[in-house]
Structure 1
Amino acid sequence: MNKSDKLLKDLIDANLYSRYSGLLSLSNISLQLVDTCGRILLEFNPSPDFCKRICQDDETKVCADCFSRFKNGRAERFTCRYGLVNIILPLEINQQTVGFVIGAQVYLPDSEYQKYLIDITSLAKEKNLKPEYIAKSIAAVKTVEPNKVEIHEQLCNHIAKNIAYEFSHSLNNTEKAIARLSIEKEMLERKIIDLEAKNMSLVINPHFLFNTLNTIARIAYFEKSHTTEELIYCLSDLLRYNLKQDDELHTIGNEVDNIEKYLYIQKVRFKNRLEYEIDMPDHIKPYRIPNMTIQPIVENALIHGISPKRDGGIIKIYAEKYKDDINIYVMDNGNGFPKEVLDNLHQTESKLGIGLRSTDKRLKQYFGEQYGLKIVKSDYSGSTVTISIPTKPNVRR
């Protein structure tokens, strides 16, 4: 290992990811640090499964399309053979390229059609993979607006410059300590703080918001804009329900009413790309469940399952009582959850926030380890997630 390679490794060992976590929160598009041989040293944001497991011959190295551009040693944006936009930014030290920051790996709206031209059958034979897996991986590749790609490219550029600065500082000093921050990075972090402050200033009194929404709804009523009126009332009810911060158990009936309003709004948005069915027996509605338990699962089904499908799909919610337990099912016929979502569900530390893992933890805290959330099925034909609770809970809060 030469001195340059060792210093790049030292940078990563020195918690490189944590030092840029503030900047990385601005984008969830792929961003990686690689050496001049194409080896992936660090994934700031992971690349799509399609790139990682199908395009790349080795998951630890970039694909041939990307590596062929390394020879130029210059920054560029290029479109790969499958139509994905890629960004390459060299790490330059003393006019020598010591590595690259690469990112994007997304479709633009104008080029999204190219994903439907990929020969899935040939790829399946070539890679010895199931066609369903390849189709699911293609469908999961993000489509991003050009302005967001521009912002992501700026982010990549800032990170590349700062890594080059730290690398240069280490290369020119015999001490092993690596510079923590460059002046430019400090300026960027101050910008993030400024943005957060601006967001804080946008907080609106909830009562003012609800009153305003209701006023707009009444205007829509008098103007005979009944769909608009219904949407506003649904949104107002959703916001009011979601703002409840108490730790009390709510009835399943109340939860389902909230979900119906959420899906109604999404139905207006997605039109014929979204259908939904809710079958909640009356004898189950009085049982109690933690607030906002079902919605994260429905939201995940919509985002990860239905939304990526060109023709959309259907979400079904139903429940049944079995002995002393109640099982609530959320089903969809979408693309299934991405691999990282399934992996994160079983990790001690998860990035899913208010998503699947936190919902599972809340249920277990209330009712015990034998209850909670379970992904019964998640594949190309869709997903099924269950929530299990006792009919006679011995609440553990």
Structure 2
Amino acid sequence: MNKLNMQGAQNPETEDISDVEISLKNFDIVHLFGKEKLEAIQERISKVTGLAFVTVDFKGQPVTESTYFTEFCHCVRENKLTEQGCWSSDAYGAVQATITKKPSIYFCPCGLLEIAIPLIVRGHYLGGFIGGQVWCEDAPDSIVRLENILGQPELLESSGIDLNLRKKATALSYEQFCNVADLAAMIINQMTEYELSKLEGPKSDRGKIEALEREIQSLRYQKRQREMQLASMENNNNSRFVLNTLTSIANLSIIENATETNAALIVCIEYIKSLMNVKNNFWSLMEELDNVERYLTIQKLRYEDRLNYTIEVPEKLRLQRIPSNTLQAFVHQAVEHGVALKENGGTVKVSVQYMDDEVVIYIDDDGPGLNNEQLEKFYGHFDNGIYSDGILQSIETASKRMRLLFGKEYDVVTEVVENEGRRVCIRYPRYFDEGVITDVPDSNRG
């Protein structure tokens, strides 16, 4: 059993540990966990998050073997010219985490994104977990880059290490890295509290109640996750049936030489496949706009020269996260309530940009610019308004989802100008926590 520095422990062999107070002055990270358990915990965190990790003591010295280290980092740390830069990087992360008492994100001297997660117990810094080794191209300029401080690039050039190995590291967006790092920090903090609670002895009644409440919340979360998995399985089964049916029709259209029908079906099949591949309620703008283009491709086959469209998105925004299937309803409206109502057709334009810390998306059409009341009158002559109401209901559902996710200030804004068209403006924060979706129903899944 690990030896602990106790206050008032007259007879450690007989006295109950719950009757003494643990002194943390000479207590370190290895005493708390034990080296073998520490390495097992570290390996589990690496498996869950996909990040490389090593544990350091309060001086920044490694106390465990590394896990999930990239080939590039192994080469750098084993090279006599460059190893010192890695140790200095680990020490920097540990010091920053100590000072701020919170995780510190920075670029190591070799240009890979890392995080130092402090292990603080009752105000005492015992050590930390240094993790990451991630290739990231969209981190904010404010993130510290140690290569500018430690001069590692010059040493790398003369070391003989293959720099191409660096790009074999896991590639994540900055937002993805922050989410994974938050998960790692949460796991580490919970495990620390658990180990400390075992040393401090039985909890008070209040502590037991809090523990039970946390367990109940955890069970509720697990129940919700299972329900979502079951719903996803059911939706996937329905989608597969539709997919197989459309594939059969597409094959038939080839036999009958119906080339346009076949082209539309192929695009529709790709659209359904993309929906089936959505693992959660968010995906990249690239995936979102690919789906929008599939829809517009089908409509182009339908309207031919009467429909033109453009999609403008800067390269740096392509990996930006967005709630899945946000734009579909608005693009549908732009086609049906805009271009389709003009005798000579028109143009639908989708454009995306960053504006300060927000993502701003515009969907424009140069249709007749009818408001909802005018649309209701127009379609009421043909189908009692059912078709138009269906589009407007989809619009309201999508707008409500954005309000639930990001707040009322992010409501979708539509500007209609008679005889000129419509502009829809969708805004949401550039940085956000995807975890909030656990409490918000996904309007895109039946």
TM-score normalised by structure 2 residue count: 0.39
Larger Rg: 2
| TM-score (normalised: structure 1) | 0.43
